[in-house]
Amino acid sequence: MIETDLISDDIAFLSQTESIQHILRVLSYTTGLRISLVARVTEDSWTCCAVLDEANFGLKPGDQLEVETTFCNVVRTSNAPLLLNQAKLHPVFGDHVAIKLYNVENYIAVPLYLRDGRYFGVVCALDVVPFEANLNENTLTIFKLFAQLIAYEMESEADRRSKQAEINNLNDLISIAAHDLRQPLTALQLRAHLVARHAKRENVSPQLENMLDSLVVDVLKATHLTDILLDVGRIESGNFALEMDQTDLAYLVTQAVEEYKRSAPAVIFETEIPAQLRIEGDETRLGQVIRNLLDNAIKYSPGSKKKVEVRLSYLPKDTVFLQVRDYGMGVEEGDLQNLFKRQFRTEQARGAGIKGSGFGLYITRQIVEAHYGQIWADLPVGGGLRFNITLPVALN
């Protein structure tokens, strides 16, 4: 099963990679042979991995032939290139079964070795119409060079697959750990709130009261982090689902702004929000988007005077437009496209000692795009950073 999966991966990569198709075109153009291909050849099987077929021979990626019926098997067993001009007249291979079954007239192939030395198969070209192809040693040299290029491409793809597998394993581990932590943290959060409230009623010392308040904040942060990790795990595993319903986006924005006015009284909020603006969406996830952007605007606006602008409006073609702008440190223009990448943090933020997971905007983008919306950032006149979101009113 593992070997089959690997061959399927190789077929998908080789058949869909533009550079491999360019190589096959060059080989056909160089030789005049209308069929060029990369085949996986083993003792038991012959599998087409990539093909350029201008002769309507009928081969497609994934097709298989009996390996004993192919000239490619000769290349494999001899571990050497094979060059046949007018194959029917060849003193050794003139009666080969490939000529009888497939009507091969001209054929050229070189072994394809991966860069770690393992044999993979062949790079070859052929035609079923007799003509003077003029295949020679110089042609073989060209094939060998292109076989090395293909091997290099395959090695790069294998490295990418390996790294992706490591990332997937890490994501699984993070998701399991976050899931296991969520329940005890929720219980601890409840107990911390109860103890803090009880302490206030008992008139404990200010020092102890501050310690308990700090404990509540720390537990909340830990709970929030596990929620972030669980969301990342769901996104990466393809299990990030939305619960769609009619939602008043204006109410969600207003509610979030009011919460931050209470928790961050030093921030000046300027808002333009209609009384009501209903869309189809996941209320919890859209609220998460709004809070992520507000939290981001406040966090990256250092100093005592913080100002955040929030605007929500209706656009033509049944679209809503949300803007959240701060007047903080901003970012370099070259970083704008990277803001929504997983775990990306700017040099300015790290240099200023501002803490963050680097997942907030990544998750925000995933939620917006799951609603068939768009999100982007720009650098407005006057400094700071502005996030822009468009969302459809209804999902058809």
For residue range 323-361, what is the model confidence (pLDDT) as tens digits? 999 988 888 888 888 888 877 777 776 766 666 666 788
pLDDT at 175: 61
> Given a cut of 50, is residue 2 above it in pLDDT?
no
Instruction: Report which of 105, 110, 97, 137 is spatially closest to residue 35, judged by C-alpha positions.
Output: 105
Dump pLDDT digits (tens) for 197-244.
777 777 767 777 677 666 666 666 665 556 666 666 666 666 677 888
Query: Hey, is 306 helix, strand or coil?
Result: strand
With tokens 């491409």, the residue in question is 153
Q: Residue 340: exposed, middle, or buried by beta-carbon count in 10 A (0-12, 13-18, 19+)?
A: buried
Contact (Cβ atoms closer than 8 angstroms) between residue 122 and residue 80: no
Instruction: Report which of 125, 146, 64, 81 is spatially closest to residue 154, judged by C-alpha positions.
Output: 146
CB burial readout 309-318, b (16+ within 10 A) else e: bbbbeeeeee
Dump pLDDT digits (tens) for 286-309.
988 998 899 888 888 766 668 999
The CATH architecture annotation of domain 161-237 reads Orthogonal Bundle (1.10)
Contact (Cβ atoms closer than 8 angstroms) between residue 111 and residue 119: yes
pLDDT at 116: 86
Q: Are 161-237 and 245-392 equal in CATH topology? A: no
Runs of H (alpha helix) within the chain: 2-16, 18-31, 71-78, 97-102, 137-201, 206-237, 249-263, 283-299, 347-351, 360-370
Contact (Cβ atoms closer than 8 angstroms) between residue 30 and residue 23: no
Distance, in Å, from the CA atom of 289 to the CA atom of 373, rounded to the nearest integer, reads: 12
Amino acid at 22: H
pLDDT at 340: 87
Dump pLDDT digits (tens) for 29-43.
989 999 999 999 999
The CA-based dihedral angle spanning residues 91, 93, 97, 101, taken in that order and rounded to the nearest 10 degrees: -90
Q: What is the mean pLDDT of residues 72-81?
A: 96
Class of domain 2-158: alpha beta
DSSP secondary structure string for all residues of 315-346: ETTTEEEEEEEE-S----GGGGGGTTSTT---
Q: Where exactly are the structural domains of the chain?
A: 2-158, 161-237, 245-392
Name the fold adopted by 245-392. Heat Shock Protein 90 (3.30.565)
pLDDT at 1: 38
Query: Hey, is 270 helix, strand or coil?
Result: strand
58: left (phi over 0), alpha (psi -120 to 50) or beta: left
Query: Hey, is 220 helix, strand or coil?
Result: helix
Angle, nearest 10°, between helix axes 137-201 and 2-16?
110
